[in-house]
Amino acid sequence: MNGLDALNPGGRPPPLPEAETAIALYAVMRRIREFEDRVFAYFRAGRIPGTVHQYQGQEAVAAGVCAHLRRSDYITSTHRPHGHAIAKGIPLQEMAAELFGSPAGCCRGYGGSMHMGCFERGMPPASAIVAGGVPIAVGMGLSCRMAQAGSVVACFFGDGAFNNGAFHEGANLCAIWDLPVVLVCENNFYAASTHVTLANKIPRLAERARSYGMPAETVDGNDVFAVYEAAGRAVARARAGGGPTFLECLTYRRCGHSRRDQNQYRDPSEEACWMARDPLDLAGVRLVAEGAATAEDLEAVDRAAAAEVQEALDFAEAAPRPQGEDALRHEFWEAEQ
């Protein structure tokens, strides 16, 4: 099974956005893929400390949603935040430096992989407690609504968050207060190693989300143009004061849950089906087939992404490291110096 059977019943793919946007979506996905692949190599080589939860395979979700966000909009993220951070515009150098635990990192080395964030670009440190970011997105949405500046919040979480009380409380608050929040559920079929069907009796998570009193839909989360189209409606609705939307994006990890996970719990036929649906390949084929880009155009994008990522990692590896006693700073806010 691939979980996609009931989607797109008419068989008509979502329309391609205009060429410039379509290529930009591809480029964001490529930057994420390149970053994650290179980071994994560095990690395996022992050059990056800690742990990593990688985003390969889910790039279309972050790219398709964040393409609609302004710098003044907010996102909340999870223990798997690199893709969201890249799509929200955090510079790769600052992200890479954060992975190395450097003061040049976007959280100055205090956050690390799982708490990636950069508030001036609308991303507080990601919450590595599953569903923990959902109530926080509620409050950010409340601020946006009270400020009446048309800002919105995209709240990213996985299928694993769906059965946590914090998700339920947060989703309900979004609904009863009509908040400008897009709840983006990245259903990658596995909460760590637990399959989504072991954790839910219903076939579509959007079914339950609808019962909070908000629009909810399930989209092919490996089709960046499908995500882009659905997220566009959800973000526009939020901006216009229409309240929250739940987007269930069906997608799949092309990597393990975390650093050394070999995915030995996955069904081979399910895995084969999804591995054949690489979001970058799907987008690239359409871009070329529909004349939005040439193969050479995409190769140039790929090369640029590879160079940018390598430059970021080179910068980060050479960036200064903190002093041990820096660990004692920032328990409390220090007044502007």
Partner 1 sequence: MTIAKALRLAIAEEMRRDPTVICIGEDIGIPGGWGGAFTVTWGLEREFGLERVRNTPISEAGLIGAAIGAALTGLRPIADFQYADFMFCAADQLINQAPKMCFMSGGQIKVPLVVRAPVGASTRGAQHAQCPEAWIVHTPGWKVAVPSTPYDAKGLLKSAVRDDNPVFIFEHKLLYGSSGARAEDNAVQVDEPVPEEDFVVPFGQAAVRRAGRDITVVATHLMIYRALQAADELAREGIELEVIDPRTLVPFDYETLCESLGRTGRLMVVEEDTRRGGWGAEIIAEIAEKHGDLLSAPPMRVATYDVPIAASPVMERFAVPDAARIRDAARKMLEV
Q: Please state whether beta strands 194-195 and 190-191 pair in parallel, antiparallel, or not at all (unpaired).
A: antiparallel
Q: Which is nearer to partner 1, 118 or 283 (CB)?
A: 118
182/298 with CB nearer partner 1:
182
Closest separation in Å from C-beta 225 to partner 1 = 31
Q: Are 163 and 183 in contact (CB under 8 A)?
A: no
Minimum distance between the CB of residue 105 and partner 1, rounded to whole angstroms? 8
Nearer Cβ to partner 1, position 58 or 76? 76
Contact residues: partner 1, CB under 8 A = 74, 76, 103, 105, 107-111, 115, 117, 119-120, 124-125, 127, 129, 132, 134-144, 146-147, 165-166, 169-170, 172-173, 176, 329-335
Q: Compare residues 275 and 327 and give the one whose CB is closer to partner 1.
A: 327
Minimum distance of partner 1 from residue 39's CB (angstroms): 19
Q: Minimum distance from CB of 129 to partner 1 (Å)?
A: 5
Residue among 134 and 227 whose Cβ is closer to partner 1? 134
> Kindly report the CA angle at 80 between 77 and 82, in degrees rounded to 5?
85
Q: Report whether 153 contacts 144 (CB < 8 A).
A: yes
Residue type present at position 331: E
Q: Smallest distance, Å, CB 165 to partner 1?
A: 6
CB closer to partner 1, 80 vs 115? 115
336 contacts: CB under 8 Å, gap ≥ 6: none
Q: Burial of 335 by CB count in 10 Å (0-12 exposed, 13-18 middle, 19+ buried)? A: exposed
Are 186 and 58 spatial neighbours (Cβ–Cβ below 8 Å)?
A: yes
Return the structure tokens found at 77: 């993220």
Longest pairwise C-alpha distance within the chain? 61
Looking at the Cβ atoms of 29 and 175, the one nearer to partner 1 is 175
With H, G, I as helix, E, B as strand and everything else as coil, classify residue 44.
Answer: helix
Query: Which residues in the chain belong to E strands, given as ranges?
Result: 74-76, 153-158, 181-187, 190-191, 194-195, 216-220, 245-250
Q: How far is the CB of 172 from partner 1 (least distance, A)?
A: 7
DSSP code for 113: G
Token pair of 244, please?
């929250």
Nearest approach in angstroms of CB 104 to partner 1 is 10
Burial classification of residue 116, based on how many CB atoms lie within 10 Å of its CB (0-12 exposed, 13-18 middle, 19 or more buried): buried
Cβ neighbours of 21 (radius 10 Å) = 14
SS3 of 15, please?
A: coil
Query: CB of 31: closest distance to partner 1 in angstroms?
Result: 23
How many angstroms separate the CA atoms of 309 and 248, rounded? 30
Smallest distance from partner 1 to CB 81, Å:
12
Closest CB to partner 1 among 142 and 306?
142
Looking at the Cβ atoms of 87 and 144, the one nearer to partner 1 is 144
